[in-house]
Chain A
Amino acid sequence: MDNILRAVEKEHLQERGEFSSGDIVRIHERISEGAKERIQVFEGIVLKRSGPGTREMVTVRKISSGIGVEKTYPVHSPKIEKIELVKKYHIRQAKPYYLRRLRRIR
């Protein structure tokens, strides 16, 4: 039964390159305002990836004018144009929440 569910989900997965916690990524989000559509880019460090299959979410953190900002996106949403890997970092945690308490980062 679960195999069938997985197979259905698989058809809805988007092609996303490999990236994991600690990496710096650029997320291109399609935003439609009325008839117009534009792309908003959010660049930051991946705090976590959570959830299986089509439900997978990714949380990205960046410092915007001195204030920490975190955004959570559905990884496989068609409204995400692409996820660009900017820089790969090796970190020891799967969920580097300690970054929230660090004073100096980037």
Chain B
Amino acid sequence: MGLAILARKIGMTQLFPDGSAVGTTVIETQPCTVVQIKTVETDGYNAIQLAYGEVPDRKVTRPLRGHYQKAGVASHRHLFEARIDDPSAYKLGDQVGLEIFAEGEKVDVVGTSRGLGFQGVVKRWDFAGGPASHGSHFHRRPGSVGNCVNPGRVVKGKKLPGQTGNRRITVKGLKVLRVDPGRNLIVLKGSTPGARGTILQLRKSNG
């Protein structure tokens, strides 16, 4: 794992980092606040709990408000944990921002992919589908899903229609092209999960 922050996806554009045109993602961050420090002694593992996106107290439930008050920080919309080796380097209320990333470094991005709803097998699993015409009635169906008496059931994990997208996706090893602390922007090479405005977790890549 590693140190991470939350950020908001602004959108994609094409830039020329070293001459060639490259698809890039622009991401806006805010510094995250340390809310809880977890150690092996107290919790069985080392981590810091971070909060992102300050909101008024009335926007969070009372139990959560108490949690923030205990740490002496303002209420935030998002809470997450970063597993780090040495949590004693941080104390409650510390800010972690995009300065943890350097240009040229690699990051992992965790986010929720765009939800496409209940989709058939052609969109969901790239099945080829059948002929559109020439008397064919087999258009976008999944076809046969199993054998006969043996095994007498459909194998687990069979690719069938269902909910597509809207699940947690991790993209590993995206290169940091630019870090702009003034405007709290970070520019990555390549694409990240989700639509514009999605909250993403940017994590130091260990790969």
Contact = CB atoms under 8 A, between A and B. Distances in A.
Contacts of A8: 13, 15, 26, 185, 187
Nearest to A32: B19
B19 A77 contact: yes
B28 interface: yes
Main SS of chain B's interface residues? strand
A77 B18 CA distance: 10
B10 interface: yes
Contacts, number: 42
Chain A contact patch, size range:
10 to 19
Main SS of chain A's interface residues? helix
Contacts of B13: 5, 8-9, 53-55
A78 B19 contact: yes
Contact of A78 (B14, B16, B28, B183): B16
B21 A4 contact: no
Contacts of A77: 16, 19, 21
A46 to B, nearest CB: 20
A1 B11 contact: yes
Interface residues of B, number: 16
A4 B16 contact: no
B175 interface: no
A12 to B, nearest CB: 5
Interface in B74-113: none
15 contacts: A1-B11, A2-B11, A5-B13, A7-B183, A8-B13, A8-B185, A8-B187, A9-B13, A12-B16, A54-B14, A55-B14, A74-B16, A74-B21, A77-B21, A78-B16
Interface of B: 10-11, 13-16, 19-21, 26, 28, 183, 185, 187, 196-197
Interface of A: 1-2, 4-5, 7-9, 12, 53-55, 74, 76-79
